[in-house]
Structure 1
Amino acid sequence: MAPNSYQNRTHPAGKPEQPLLFVFHGTGGDENQFFDFGRQLLPDAGIVSPRGDVSEHGALRFFRRTAEGVYDMEDLAVRTDAMADFIRTRKIEAKPSKVIGLGYSNGANILASVMLKHPGLFNDAVLMHPLIPWQPAGQPGLAGKRVLITAGQRDPICPPSLTQDFADYLIAQGVETELAWHPGGHEIQQGEVAAIQRFIQS
């Protein structure tokens, strides 16, 4: 897959040496889902929002799955590398001060997968309701990164125990990890948005 093959929406940085923020939509979303949110979070940053290139009964995703919470791991590996190539190309073009990722649900999962395999691409990341249903291998390249995980305590899609397991894994890799819970399910709540704003703007 060519590194620029993802359909995407982009906003260039308003000033030199600004951050570059990649935003990744959830299943059924597209490149518009979090684009404006990204601009609100970091008005002067460059924004890149790729569109998932997998269709699940018409709903766009970033990789295939065989059932709810059951991933096609071979497809995930291929698409993780393709996304990493896309990110690397945009990073070289923009020459940003740092690179931040923000993803929701399936978008959080592709972002996490890229970080696990290509840890040098991102400095900070916001993973909103991620689901990592496998035990990742150790990744020393993650040490010193910053990650915020937001999650619902009653999320039927992303079991809280797996969310906690992934947070514990990141901490063990030396990642500065923050976990922000809300009392609901898979939806995004206002307290979650406030936690993201604090994290991104700090």
Structure 2
Amino acid sequence: MTEIPLEHVHVAPDDESESAPAVFVLHGRGADEEDLLPVARHLPDGLHVVSLRAPDPLQGGYTWYELDLSGGGLEASQPDAADFRRSLDLVGESVDAAVDEYGLDPARLGLLGFSQGAITSLSLALEEPDRYAWVVALHGYLADAHADLDPDGIEGKPVFVGAGSGDRVIPESRSAAAADRFDEIGAAVTRGSYPGGHGIGQQELSDVVAFVESRVAQEE
């Protein structure tokens, strides 16, 4: 049995085919690997779900990294550099191990992250654009450490960026700036702005499901 570095929940599709597609789910700060499963349950039936747990305990849940607040408080926060690097590496190693363990198709892997998980997902997409077929980033932003990256393979990459117009944790402007940057470097960006705060409402969920269904159908 392949050892997967990060604790996780794996939900296999009912009709499991050889070399099947998958989505790796990354939760937000203070949550855990169970948090986004209600969202993932709405995704296409033929998709493996691998929901990863962040490495560090926090307030009854877990966190991907500590916050660097030196830029002016929560609304201008950035990931702590060392913690962020460690989590990016752990996610990458866990993806590789899960592909082997669960027989996933390495050409059909998606990322779905919320808040810290969205920030992590966007950075992973820039570091290894050929590794991930599509990305969903909800209520996150693009970390300064990755803001200037313009890698080969990002052109045409489907990226969904969702934000809340009333989000006081990660303001919509930060998510919009991430979408703008991915537009600039040639990704195929889908944007969603929703009236709620720092959470996933019904319309946002519906738009995410439609986006993922479209991506999976195009891969078949």
The answer to whether structure 1 residue 27 and structure 2 residue 46 are counterparts is no
Alignment match, 1:98: 108
Alignment match, 2:92: 84
Q: Which SS does the other structure have where 2:20 is aligned?
A: coil
Q: Which SS does the other structure have where 1:138 is aligned?
A: coil
Q: Within 2, Cα distance between the matches of 1:100 and 1:125?
A: 6
Q: Within 1, Cα distance between the matches of 2:3 and 2:11?
A: 18
Unaligned runs of 5+ in 1: none
User: TM-score normalised to the size of structure 1?
Assistant: 0.90
Q: Which SS does the other structure have where 1:164 is aligned?
A: helix
Q: Within 2, Cα distance between the matches of 1:38 and 1:136?
A: 31
* Aligned counterpart in structure 1 of residue 195 of structure 2, from 168, 180, 183: 183
The 8 Å contact of residues 194 and 204 in structure 2, kept in 1 or not, is answered as: yes
Alignment match, 2:126: 116
Alignment match, 2:217: none
The 8 Å contact of residues 123 and 143 in structure 2, kept in 1 or not, is answered as: no
Q: Deviations over 1:55-79 (max 9, x none)?
A: 2344311122234323201221222
1:163-182 aligned at under 5 Å gives the runs 163-182=175-194
Alignment match, 1:18: 20
Q: Within 1, Cα distance between the matches of 2:36 and 2:79?
A: 24
Q: Within 2, Cα distance between the matches of 1:6 and 1:71?
A: 19
Q: Which SS does the other structure have where 2:153 is aligned?
A: helix
How much does 1:154 deviate? 2.2
Q: Aligned AA for 1:194?
A: S
How much does 1:36 deviate? 4.1
Higher mean alpha-carbon deviation, 157-166 vs 132-141, is at 132-141
Q: Within 1, Cα distance between the matches of 2:49 and 2:166?
A: 31
How much does 1:38 deviate? 1.7
Structure-2 change in CA distance of 1:143 and 1:95 (3 Å): same
* Aligned counterpart in structure 2 of residue 129 of structure 1, from 126, 139, 148: 139
